[in-house]
Amino acid sequence: MQRGSPKGKTLADLLGAAEQFKPRGKVTDIREFGNGNINNTFLVTLNTEGEERFVLQRVNTQVFHKPELVMLNMRTSTEHIRRRLGHARHATGRRWEVPRVLLTQQGLDHWCDSDGSFWRALSFIDGSRSFDAIKNSAHAREVGYALGMFHALLSDLPADSLADTLEGFHVTPRYLLYYDKVLKKHGAGRSQEENYCMQFVSEQSARAHVLENAIARGILRLRPIHGDPKVSNIMIDNATGQAVSIVDLGTVKPGLVHYDIGDCLRSGCNPLGEETEQWEDVRFDPDLCRPILQGYLSTAGEFLTANDFEYIYDSIRLIAFELGLRFFTDHLEGNVYFKVGRPGHNLARALVQFRLTESIESQAAAIRAIIREIR
Ligand code: GN1
Ligand code: MG
């Protein structure tokens, strides 16, 4: 265990947390895992036969104020999916797995250490890995398939059986209100990049209500959503190259499937990835958009309504813009929400998403044509 220990946590603390969730064996390795922006995530290896592994996470309770409800949502959704996977309707003949919430020796779904850190553990999806950006159109199709599979498996779970664990999550107008507050308090416009961002936000804000208006008018309705279906959360089988799971279930809650569709496409159709420093070269690739949507519809097509289709384009533009807005606000506020690795990191991330939004808008007609064509 080298880098990545949460502040004030030693290797012994991590081991102590891992020990709570392991039914057998000895921990032989703990290492930082993935590149999440909020929680601290570790991969734990045991000395059991087959060197079993599991994922250990320290939940950021500054962001997730009610982590017990997050666990409840994780359990409700994964148990529902597991039940449905037993059904013939979803016997696709393909491997599909759901991460299991691991329990402590006392039978609890989390453990709080002596200074109140909230720990949880999940099974690791063996024989699979994920990628930060899409490699080719076959991979793109699998990413879409995974999101569609997830939505389809939860499509008969009433949205109100899940708690609202992050109020206002993906409600763009709320992020705009917060941005205005932060801007007043902290000011901006120190650099050319900041000025570009401010200008961009003010141009976009008139169109930020489109999805929320559709909810208010009863055109779109809330369903169980994943909340964070970016490419790096889709697990790909090492042997077959097929998607076998979608992980990172901490944001599963009621929402619009459009938030997920938009998020998956803003992530999947940006070949340079969201962490690139070459923000000026960022573009939205329609040749990845098509296979992602085809993969999505191959599993989710059944429950999407005509109205749902009408808002797919808007969701792609809006969620890219929204993520840029969230990064930019956090930059202005002094990086209090997203973890950063360098000065200006959140500003760079914001520029990537804003550039992506511009690219989406400049190809609006082509993207809308793809949506019509695959429908
Ligand atoms: C955050 O922590 P992570 O990387 O799983 C964020 C998502 C963003 C994502 C961008 C709770 O997810 O909404 O899309 O960063 N999660 C939360 O990479 O805000
Ligand atoms: Mg996440």
pLDDT, tens digit, for every residue of 327-364?
999 999 999 999 999 999 999 999 999 999 999 999 99
Phi, psi of 5 (to 5 degrees): -65, 135
Q: What is the pLDDT of residue 257?
A: 98
Helix, strand or coil, per DSSP, at residue 120: strand
CA–CA–CA angle 222, 223, 227 (5° rounding): 100
Percent of the chain scoring above 90 in pLDDT: 91
86: tokens are 């037993």
pLDDT, tens digit, 9 for 90 and up, residues 81-126: 999 998 655 567 899 999 999 999 999 999 999 999 999 999 999 9
**Closest ligand to the CA of 166:** 1
For the segment 16-37, what is each residue's pLDDT rounded down to a tens digit? 999 999 878 999 999 999 999 9
Distance CA 224, CA 365 (A): 30
Asked whether the predicted pLDDT for residue 66 surpasses 90, the reply is yes
> Nearest bound ligand to CA 249?
2
| pLDDT 10s digits, 219-233 | 999 999 999 999 999
How close is the Cα of 229 to the center of ligand 2, in Å?
8
Residue 1: what pLDDT? 35
Choose among 231, 316, 317: nearest CA to 267.
231
Ligand nearest to the CA of 231: 1
Atom 13 of ligand 1: nearest residue by CA position: 228
- Contacts for 89 with CB less than 8 Å, ≥ 6 apart: none
Indicate if ligand 1 lies below 6 Å from the C-beta of 322.
no
How far apart are the CA of 87 and the centre of ligand 1, in A? 32
Mutate-to-test residue for ligand 1 from 132, 225, 228, highest number of ligand atoms within 8 A of CB: 228
Q: Ligand 1 in contact with 330 (CB < 6 A)?
A: no
The tens digit of pLDDT for each residue in 197-221 reads 999 999 999 999 999 999 999 999 9
